[in-house]
Amino acid sequence: MPDNAALFLDFDGTLAEFANRPDAVVVAPGLADLLASLQAKLDGALAILSGRTLDELDNFLAPLSFPAAGNHGRDLRWSDGSVEPADIPDISLELERAEDFAASRPGVLVEKKAGAFALHYREAPHHEDAVRDFMQSLADIRDDMALMPNKMLFELKDAHSNKGAALHAHMERQPFVVRTPVFIGDDANDEPGIEAAQNAGGIGIKVGPGDSAARHRLDDVSAVHLWLRSAL
């Protein structure tokens, strides 16, 4: 890692292993301490960019609270702890339809967020096509919303924010400005972040297999932890 790195980290599938349900994810012992040490070494330039809410990230990494982007870049928290929430689109009709859809398909789970929601099918993988078609039908009638595929889930989110925009927003502020961005992530939502880091002369790292614009790769969550430790 460059000495002057600004480190941007995805959470699920990058820092923490997946679990069957999003609330069942367990953080490896020592992860918060590792991140705190890295943050200190990088003069504070470490941020978590996640699809989760800021509150969820804080619960997983307690007692620490990092600069972050929650909800795929919609909610930005700067290094002074102040939060810049985005406008929250009204998706109540879509959410109601999704709850009806899930109610008749055991194992399909609705995860509500502010102005977004995800349909998970990890416990019912045979419903993948039905979930995709249903969520696409919702996205098709909303110009302001986009369908985002993720691992064993599809999410309906606002069309404009993403992790690349979140990386840029942080890079315009202290302590990130003039440092070299390094982005690590594992899935399709991370590609805008990977591309933003590389386009800014930095480093994009893809975790695991699959297509990616990243020029570097780490095998899995354990490899990410090892690589981060080696940078201390």
- Residue 194 beta carbon to Mg ion: minimum distance, rounded to whole angstroms: 12
What's the closest the beta carbon of residue 86 comes to Mg ion, in angstroms?
A: 20
Q: How far is the CB of 12 from Mg ion (least distance, A)?
A: 4
**CA-CA distance, 201 to 179, in Å (whole number)?**
10
Considering 3, 10, 58, 158, which one is annotated as catalytic? 10
> Closest Cα to residue 108, out of 90, 132, 87, 89?
132
Closest residue to Mg ion, judged by C-beta, is 13
Within 10 angstroms of residue 214's Cβ, the number of other Cβ atoms is 22
Residues that bind Mg ion (CB under 5 A): 10, 12-13, 186-187
Q: Compute the least distance from the CB of residue 185 to Mg ion, in Å.
A: 6
Active site residue 190: no
CA-based max dimension of the chain: 53
Question: Would you name the residues annotated as active-site residues?
Answer: 10
